[in-house]
């Protein structure tokens, strides 16, 4: 099955509700690679890579989010698979420019 890579920008009440850490555990459960981080504008940014059905399940999870979150939108761009993604990790906060 071909590997796909999705870049997601998640908006709503997604910071201060452990969104990144719940996502981390969901990605580990599914076997998805990539990363997730908070943005200074209140959104969460993530990259999910793996078999398409697993990445689609991860994106579906993001549309619901963890308890306490209120997801308003999940914007997705499809990227070429990234060779350097070997695990899933929570990374530092970054500006989106």
Active site residues: 20, 38
Does the CA dihedral 40-37-19-11 come out positive or negative? positive
> What is the rounded CA–CA span in Å between residue 40 and residue 78?
23
For 68-77, b/e burial (b = at least 16 CB within 10 A) is: ebebeebebe
């Amino acid at each position: 099955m071909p590997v796909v890579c999705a870049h997601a920008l998640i908006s709503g009440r997604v910071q201060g509700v452990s969104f990144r850490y719940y996502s981390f555990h969901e990605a580990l459960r599914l076997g998805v690679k990539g990363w997730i981080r908070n943005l200074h504008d209140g959104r969460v940014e993530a990259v999910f890579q793996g078999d398409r059905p697993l990445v689609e399940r991860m994106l579906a999870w993001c549309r619901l989010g963890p308890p306490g979150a209120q997801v308003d939108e999940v914007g997705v761009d499809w990227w070429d698979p990234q060779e350097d993604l070997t695990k899933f990790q929570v990374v530092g906060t970054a500006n989106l420019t």
